[in-house]
Amino acid sequence: MTTISNNFKSLRQRQQCALIPFITAGDPDLETTADALRILDRNGADFIELGIPYSDPLADGPVIQAAATRALNKGTKLEQVLEILRDVIPSLKAPIILFTYYNPILHRGIKSFLALIADVGVKGLVVPDLPLEEAAELIQTAASFGIEVILLVAPTSSQDRIDAIARQSQGFIYLVSVTGVTGMRSQIQNRVQHLLTDLRSVTDKPIGVGFGISAPEQALQVKEWGADAVIVGSAFVKRLAEGSPTEGLQAVEQLCQELKSAISLQPVGSAK
């Protein structure tokens, strides 16, 4: 069965680091979102994180905030996002991880929300403002729908919190590389290497690193520090929004290929 955990197992066997692009649903429009999902899937994405636009995206920097605002101004609703997913997911290899803030989940009720997203084939859920005290309930209910809930560790998390997250997180652990909001950074701090080592010492679960990664060299760096996955959001969202939808999709395709080849193992015995 396709699950995030199972896909990571097979990536590990092949000693591959996963690429997880993030895009915002409905920016510039839902048709382009569907095209982008197919393009990312065909060009090396191992999982795709799809953001549900939200009016108060407190963990997001300017690029993703602006994308969410544009998507909301277009009237993008969860139901419509799920409709395109119902259509697209059967043709994708990469499992879809839905990204949403906690309020929209509570608003619908945890169970009904999970039933809706499971029904269209979503495999994972990231909720950046989920209180750790409420994680167990969401994780358990999600598991009954075949959905894995990925928890986030921040550079400021206490050791107790890190231990609890490592224990509870499903699929993988999302290591946030910097304190602050999402967005491209010119450099990935060396500290990320230590954060990775510390986290690795308490868990065997796969670790994905996100926040601030936009360039192939940065992705490779994070891979070499031992990450099982690199997550790249703002760089994709920015490219997708530039120019016409066709131009945006071309730029997304190119970035996906560049990132993927940077983190892919050279086949043994290949020239160079």
Ligand X SMILES: O=P(O)(O)OC[C@@H](O)[C@@H](O)c1c[nH]c2ccccc12
Q: Hey, what amino acid is at 257?
A: Q
| Neighbour-count burial for 11-23, b at 16+ CB within 10 Å, e otherwise | beeeebbbbbbbb
139 or 232: CB nearest ligand X: 232
Cα separation, 252 vs 27, in Å, equals 13
Question: Exactly one of 60, 119, 160, 242 is catalytic; which is it?
Answer: 60
Q: Which residue is nearest to ligand X, using beta carbons? A: 233
Whether residue 133 lies in the annotated active site:
no
Cα separation, 149 vs 147, in Å, equals 7
Question: Exactly one of 41, 49, 148, 228 is catalytic; which is it?
Answer: 49
117 or 229: CB nearest ligand X: 229
- 169 SS3 class: coil
DSSP classification of residue 16: P
Q: Confirm if 25 and 53 have CB atoms less than 8 A apart.
A: yes
The least distance separating ligand X from the CB of residue 271, rounded to whole angstroms, comes to 33
Whether residue 148 lies in the annotated active site:
no
The least distance separating ligand X from the CB of residue 99, rounded to whole angstroms, comes to 6
The least distance separating ligand X from the CB of residue 212, rounded to whole angstroms, comes to 5
The least distance separating ligand X from the CB of residue 268, rounded to whole angstroms, comes to 31
Specify the residue for token string 């649903």.
25
What tokens appear for 25 in the block? 């649903």
Residues that bind ligand X (CB under 6 A): 22, 49, 51, 59-60, 64, 99, 128, 182-183, 210-213, 231-234
92 or 127: CB nearest ligand X: 127
Active site residues: 49, 60
